[in-house]
Chain A
Amino acid sequence: MSSVADRDLRISKLTKEFATFTAVKSLDLVVPQGSFFALLGPSGCGKTTTLRMVAGLDTPTSGSIHLGDLDVTYEKPYRRPVNTVFQNYALFPHLDIYENVAFGLRRRRSPEVARQVDEMLALVELTSQARKKPPQLSGGQQQRVALARALINRPEVLLLDEPLGALDLKLRRSMQLEIKRIQTEVGLTFVHVTHDQEEAMTMADTIAVMNAGVIEQMGSPTELYENPATTFVANFLGQSNLIAGKIIGREGDVVKVQMEGTVVSIPADRAHADHGDGWVGIRPEKVLIAPAGQPIDAPGNHMTGAYVTDVSFVGVSTQYLVRMPWGQELMAFEQNTGVRGIIPVGTAVDVSWRPEFAFLLDASQDVNAGIEEA
């Protein structure tokens, strides 16, 4: 069926039911070998449960997990070529850093333990801490020990469960780059769980957005950001303006939508609904505004009769809230290029965006999904 080199992680119809609660619902996922894969979702959506099933620490209620052609669904954790960086690190307090890192090698009676441990400690820059006990290290150092302890076994899949959650923002940013560098260097498959959308976007080749036990959408960071398929993804990954519309129908490469008196055309590959009601979505930085009557340097849907209700200046950009004639407030983020001054509150403005930047979502979805969690 597939070549020997194919060691993709394939999860199909994976379900986990606890006594009163279904944490993971028929989840399908393919993680290509060697990729940096992020599982992104709000707290409690089932990310840890999914990882634990891949690691063998929880038994699935149904479904299967394959590594290449190998079915590991019910394989014992200590027989799987999978290692985990635990959410709380779970370092062995009675062993020093060196022995923590050597633990997996010793269990497998691997040769050349000393050389491998030394190399790994050098990779995570902890050589000088080798003989300390875990509680003597800082949070960031403990995090690197946890990473080294798992990585040294060269697992086919490395699972990282919110590995940076306990670190402060600055350290988190530098560890993100560090982990990304190490992944590129060792070329192993990383499955990185996080609830931080920025972290997922900076680190991952592919992101799967998870919500309430199911995968909402999967793709590259740009795909997910530019072309979200659900209101949850549109709101959880960045921010979105969602405007109610009536779908007229498909005409060639576009889907026409009647939106508050304007007919807008949305590229067919960005339309995730094709009849009835829909949400027309547009990212705030794609929304351009200008004082009424002045030209807007974007050909597109041109709407008049709006005015500015709120301005926040955040340095690199200015974030406007604009009340549209139909009463809805839209967000418009403008780069602070210095070409034009800040438009004051109350100013009448025209609003425009390029139709190819818009997307169309099914109106049956909750317009506020994912806003609270993000």
Chain B
Amino acid sequence: MAVQAPEAAPPPRAPAVRPRRKLTGYWLILPGALWLGLFFVVPFYSLLATSLYDPNGSVLGGYDMTYHFANFVDAIKDYWEPLLRSLGYAGIATLICLVLGYLLAYAIAFKGGRWRTLLLVLVIAPFFTSFLLRTLSWKLILADDGFVVDALQSVHILGADDRLLATPVAVIAGLTYNFLPFMVLPLYASLEKIDGRLIEAAGDLYASPVRAFFKVTWPLSLPGVVAGTLLTFIPAAGDYVNAQLLGNPNTRMAGNVIQDLFTKTSDYAAAGALSVILMLIIVGMVMAYVRTAGTEDLV
């Protein structure tokens, strides 16, 4: 149209309008971009640099930039156990969160009725107390003379000398507890959007309630599943508080090692290398996961 009738679109108008519209977009991006630049790109660059320092340097003597790529090999050699443990604990905690969180989000979304808002507030209520305090109180809950251990011992699930505190179970329990709301909220948001009439339509088309769930409800909730598992797994894999407060020296996760390397042994190069490795592993796993989950296909 415009080609056939150039006089219909006077040339001076077009350039006046279009650049301004483009600029608006840049202005809107600017605050976020500055924030990310200052607090993500710069620190990340510095971390990357640290990971390539000469490992023989020290805080007092200073570090030399020697592009020492062997730091990465050394870090994996020395710390593959805590690395795997991080991924394993985070993975198990994420799975438990998914099961518990899905049931909870489903119940709130479909059976919550007028209590929905209250129930959602209860889900995030733990955030009103500090993360550290809540994790410390799990120490009391799982203590050797606490009611949980007593109860499990009385039904002989735990032996008389078995304990929960300072075991992997306690660390995973702590991770599950602390990150459950991050699972529930995106799941709820997805489930709540599902039109109940679609589930009725599935029933009308010969799907039993169980099949209707797997053919309609579950696929439509996948965006929430993906978001929830990412929001749970990523921080859980990098967490060190739960392992430190609820675990023992044999349950150390990558986060604990990094913390020690930075703050106790001041081995900055190794700490940096381990941080970068953990980050790359998580990014790689997330990308593979999002690709298989195929969220871009979902509505």
Chain A interface residues (CB < 8 Å from chain B): 55-57, 76-79, 82-84, 86, 88, 90-94, 103-104, 107-108, 133, 135, 149-150, 153
Q: B124 — which chain A residues lie within 8 A by C-beta?
A: none
Q: B208 — which chain A residues lie within 8 A by C-beta?
A: 76, 78
Q: B206 — which chain A residues lie within 8 A by C-beta?
A: 78-79, 104, 107-108, 153
Asked if B211 is an interface residue, CB under 8 A from chain A, the answer is yes
Q: Nearest chain A CB to B83's CB is how many angstroms away?
A: 37
Closest 6 CB pairs of A and B: A104-B205, A107-B206, A90-B201, A77-B203, A90-B197, A93-B299
Q: Nearest chain B CB to A241's CB is how many angstroms away?
A: 43
Q: A76 — which chain B residues lie within 8 A by C-beta?
A: 203, 208
How many Å lie between the Cα of A94 and that of B195 in the bound state?
Answer: 12
Q: Nearest chain B CB to A128's CB is how many angstroms away?
A: 21
B197 close to A107 (CB less than 8 A): no
Interface string of B199-225 (1 = CB under 8 A from A): 011111111100110011001100000
Q: A57 — which chain B residues lie within 8 A by C-beta?
A: 200, 203-204
How many Å lie between the Cα of A93 and that of B299 in the bound state?
Answer: 7
Extra A-B contacts (7), CB below 8 Å, given A77-B204, A84-B201: A76-B203, A78-B206, A90-B195, A90-B197, A107-B211, A108-B206, A149-B205
Q: B195 — which chain A residues lie within 8 A by C-beta?
A: 90
- Closest A residue, CB atoms, query B218: A94
Which of chain B's residues 266-299 have a Cβ closer than 8 Å to chain A? 297-299
List 7 interface pairs A-B (beta carbons < 8 Å), by A numbering.
Answer: A79-B206, A90-B198, A90-B201, A93-B299, A104-B205, A108-B206, A153-B206
Q: B200 — which chain A residues lie within 8 A by C-beta?
A: 57, 77, 86, 90
How many Å lie between the Cα of A342 and that of B193 in the bound state?
Answer: 59
Q: B205 — which chain A residues lie within 8 A by C-beta?
A: 78, 83, 103-104, 107, 149-150, 153
How many Å lie between the Cα of A37 and that of B294 in the bound state?
Answer: 45
How many Å lie between the Cα of A5 and that of B208 in the bound state?
Answer: 28
How many Å lie between the Cα of A56 and that of B204 in the bound state?
Answer: 8
- Closest B residue, CB atoms, query A110: B206
B299 close to A86 (CB less than 8 A): no
Q: Nearest chain A CB to B196's CB is how many angstroms away?
A: 9
Q: Nearest chain B CB to A236's CB is how many angstroms away?
A: 28
B299 close to A55 (CB less than 8 A): no
A83 close to B204 (CB less than 8 A): yes
How many Å lie between the Cα of A161 and that of B32 in the bound state?
Answer: 50
Q: Nearest chain A CB to B80's CB is how many angstroms away?
A: 40
How many Å lie between the Cα of A215 and that of B299 in the bound state?
Answer: 42
How many Å lie between the Cα of A133 and that of B219 in the bound state?
Answer: 14
How many Å lie between the Cα of A125 and that of B219 in the bound state?
Answer: 28
Q: A104 — which chain B residues lie within 8 A by C-beta?
A: 205-206
Q: Nearest chain A CB to B297's CB is how many angstroms away?
A: 8
How many Å lie between the Cα of A72 and that of B219 in the bound state?
Answer: 31
Interface string of B177-193 (1 = CB under 8 A from A): 00000000000000000
Q: B216 — which chain A residues lie within 8 A by C-beta?
A: 92, 94
Contact of B201 among A79, A82, A92, A108 (CB under 8 A): A92
A78 close to B219 (CB less than 8 A): no
- Closest B residue, CB atoms, query A52: B200
- Closest A residue, CB atoms, query B222: A94
Q: A135 — which chain B residues lie within 8 A by C-beta?
A: 299
Q: In the complex, which of the residues A55, A79, A84, A107 has the most CB atoms of chain B within 10 Å of its own CB atom?
A: A107
